Amino acid sequence: MKTSLTWTKGVFSNLCKIYANGDHIGDLKESSFSQSAKGIIRGREYLFRTHGFFNQSTEIVDSTNHKIVGKIQYNSWRSKATITLNGKTTNWKYDNVWNTQWSLSDTDGTIMKFKSSTTKGHIDAGPDDELLVLTGLFVKNYYMQMAFVVIFIAVIIPVLT
Protein backbone atom coordinates (compact mmCIF):
# COMPACT_ATOMS: atom_id res chain seq x y z
CA MET A 1 0.00 0.00 0.00
CA LYS A 2 1.34 3.42 -0.95
CA THR A 3 1.68 6.21 1.58
CA SER A 4 1.06 9.81 0.55
CA LEU A 5 3.46 12.33 2.10
CA THR A 6 4.02 16.05 1.59
CA TRP A 7 7.01 18.28 2.26
CA THR A 8 7.71 21.98 2.55
CA LYS A 9 10.89 24.02 2.31
CA GLY A 10 11.40 27.78 2.25
CA VAL A 11 13.03 29.26 -0.84
CA PHE A 12 16.29 30.06 0.97
CA SER A 13 15.83 27.62 3.84
CA ASN A 14 18.08 24.67 4.60
CA LEU A 15 15.24 22.81 6.38
CA CYS A 16 12.79 20.53 4.61
CA LYS A 17 9.79 19.37 6.70
CA ILE A 18 7.99 16.11 5.91
CA TYR A 19 4.31 15.46 6.71
CA ALA A 20 1.95 12.48 6.69
CA ASN A 21 -1.74 13.44 6.74
CA GLY A 22 -0.80 16.88 8.08
CA ASP A 23 1.30 15.46 10.94
CA HIS A 24 4.97 16.47 11.03
CA ILE A 25 6.96 13.21 10.81
CA GLY A 26 10.44 14.31 9.79
CA ASP A 27 13.03 16.87 8.78
CA LEU A 28 15.99 17.06 6.47
CA LYS A 29 18.36 19.83 7.49
CA GLU A 30 21.38 20.71 5.40
CA SER A 31 24.44 22.12 7.12
CA SER A 32 25.39 25.52 5.76
CA PHE A 33 28.72 25.61 3.91
CA SER A 34 29.20 21.91 4.59
CA GLN A 35 28.60 18.78 2.58
CA SER A 36 26.47 17.13 5.21
CA ALA A 37 22.86 16.95 6.34
CA LYS A 38 20.87 15.50 9.19
CA GLY A 39 17.63 13.68 8.56
CA ILE A 40 15.06 12.66 11.14
CA ILE A 41 11.98 10.63 10.30
CA ARG A 42 9.62 9.07 12.83
CA GLY A 43 12.24 9.40 15.54
CA ARG A 44 15.10 7.78 13.58
CA GLU A 45 18.07 10.04 12.91
CA TYR A 46 20.51 9.75 10.01
CA LEU A 47 23.55 11.71 8.85
CA PHE A 48 24.38 12.28 5.19
CA ARG A 49 28.12 12.94 4.69
CA THR A 50 29.41 13.78 1.21
CA HIS A 51 33.03 13.05 0.27
CA GLY A 52 35.20 13.77 -2.74
CA PHE A 53 35.61 16.66 -5.10
CA PHE A 54 34.98 15.61 -8.71
CA ASN A 55 33.56 12.12 -8.14
CA GLN A 56 31.47 12.72 -5.04
CA SER A 57 29.57 10.15 -3.03
CA THR A 58 27.56 10.36 0.17
CA GLU A 59 27.60 8.01 3.16
CA ILE A 60 24.37 7.52 5.08
CA VAL A 61 25.00 6.91 8.78
CA ASP A 62 22.49 5.71 11.39
CA SER A 63 23.01 8.18 14.25
CA THR A 64 21.86 5.66 16.86
CA ASN A 65 24.74 3.21 16.39
CA HIS A 66 27.01 5.32 14.13
CA LYS A 67 27.06 2.58 11.45
CA ILE A 68 27.09 3.29 7.74
CA VAL A 69 23.77 1.97 6.40
CA GLY A 70 24.02 3.27 2.87
CA LYS A 71 25.80 5.14 0.13
CA ILE A 72 24.79 7.46 -2.70
CA GLN A 73 26.87 7.54 -5.88
CA TYR A 74 26.14 10.44 -8.25
CA ASN A 75 26.51 10.32 -12.03
CA SER A 76 28.62 12.91 -13.80
CA TRP A 77 25.65 14.46 -15.66
CA ARG A 78 23.88 15.33 -12.38
CA SER A 79 20.65 13.64 -13.43
CA LYS A 80 20.83 10.20 -11.81
CA ALA A 81 22.19 8.54 -8.70
CA THR A 82 22.58 5.03 -7.34
CA ILE A 83 21.51 4.50 -3.74
CA THR A 84 22.60 1.46 -1.77
CA LEU A 85 20.79 0.96 1.56
CA ASN A 86 21.42 -2.13 3.67
CA GLY A 87 22.72 -3.98 0.59
CA LYS A 88 19.74 -3.11 -1.65
CA THR A 89 20.30 -0.94 -4.74
CA THR A 90 17.83 1.75 -5.78
CA ASN A 91 18.13 4.14 -8.72
CA TRP A 92 17.25 7.86 -8.44
CA LYS A 93 16.44 9.84 -11.60
CA TYR A 94 14.62 12.94 -12.82
CA ASP A 95 11.39 12.19 -14.66
CA ASN A 96 10.94 15.50 -16.53
CA VAL A 97 13.11 18.18 -18.11
CA TRP A 98 12.14 20.80 -15.50
CA ASN A 99 13.53 18.61 -12.68
CA THR A 100 10.28 18.96 -10.73
CA GLN A 101 9.54 15.24 -10.75
CA TRP A 102 11.86 12.42 -9.81
CA SER A 103 11.55 8.79 -8.85
CA LEU A 104 13.26 5.90 -7.15
CA SER A 105 13.20 2.48 -8.75
CA ASP A 106 14.71 -0.96 -8.33
CA THR A 107 14.70 -4.12 -10.44
CA ASP A 108 10.97 -4.55 -9.75
CA GLY A 109 10.08 -1.07 -11.06
CA THR A 110 9.24 2.34 -9.57
CA ILE A 111 8.95 2.29 -5.79
CA MET A 112 8.62 6.00 -5.03
CA LYS A 113 7.61 9.17 -6.93
CA PHE A 114 8.31 12.78 -5.96
CA LYS A 115 6.75 15.99 -7.32
CA SER A 116 7.81 19.49 -6.38
CA SER A 117 7.18 23.16 -6.85
CA THR A 118 9.43 25.89 -5.50
CA THR A 119 8.59 25.42 -1.81
CA LYS A 120 6.58 22.22 -1.46
CA GLY A 121 6.03 18.79 -2.87
CA HIS A 122 4.29 15.44 -2.79
CA ILE A 123 5.70 11.92 -2.32
CA ASP A 124 4.07 8.59 -3.13
CA ALA A 125 6.02 6.09 -1.03
CA GLY A 126 5.73 2.58 0.33
CA PRO A 127 4.93 2.15 4.03
CA ASP A 128 8.44 0.96 4.97
CA ASP A 129 10.49 3.35 2.83
CA GLU A 130 11.15 6.14 5.34
CA LEU A 131 14.92 6.29 4.89
CA LEU A 132 14.39 6.30 1.12
CA VAL A 133 12.09 9.32 1.53
CA LEU A 134 14.92 11.24 3.22
CA THR A 135 17.45 9.98 0.69
CA GLY A 136 15.28 10.94 -2.30
CA LEU A 137 14.91 14.47 -0.94
CA PHE A 138 18.63 14.66 -0.08
CA VAL A 139 19.68 13.78 -3.66
CA LYS A 140 17.32 16.42 -5.08
CA ASN A 141 18.74 19.05 -2.70
CA TYR A 142 22.30 17.96 -3.54
CA TYR A 143 21.66 18.45 -7.27
CA MET A 144 20.00 21.82 -6.64
CA GLN A 145 23.07 22.97 -4.69
CA MET A 146 25.38 21.81 -7.48
CA ALA A 147 23.27 23.72 -10.03
CA PHE A 148 23.55 26.90 -7.93
CA VAL A 149 27.33 26.48 -7.72
CA VAL A 150 27.60 26.14 -11.50
CA ILE A 151 25.39 29.19 -12.06
CA PHE A 152 27.36 31.19 -9.48
CA ILE A 153 30.68 30.28 -11.16
CA ALA A 154 29.25 31.10 -14.61
CA VAL A 155 28.25 34.55 -13.39
CA ILE A 156 31.30 35.39 -11.23
CA ILE A 157 34.10 34.33 -13.61
CA PRO A 158 33.00 36.67 -16.43
CA VAL A 159 32.60 39.52 -13.92
CA LEU A 160 36.12 38.99 -12.55
CA THR A 161 37.81 38.77 -15.95
Banded model confidence at residue 152, pLDDT cuts 50, 70, 90: low
Tell me the C-alpha distance between 146 and 144, whole Å.
Answer: 5
User: Are residues 45 and 146 in contact, defined by beta-carbon separation less than 8 angstroms?
Assistant: no
Cα→Cα distances 152→10, 63, 79, 147, 155, Å: 20, 33, 19, 9, 5
Query: What's the pTM?
Result: 0.90
Per-residue pLDDT tens for 4-48? 999 999 988 999 999 999 999 999 999 876 778 999 999 999 999
How many residues are there in the chain? 161
Over 70: is that where the pLDDT of 147 sits? no
Banded model confidence at residue 86, pLDDT cuts 50, 70, 90: confident
Q: Using alpha carbons, select from 59, 53, 54 the residue that is nearest to residue 135.
A: 59
Residue 150: the pLDDT is: 58
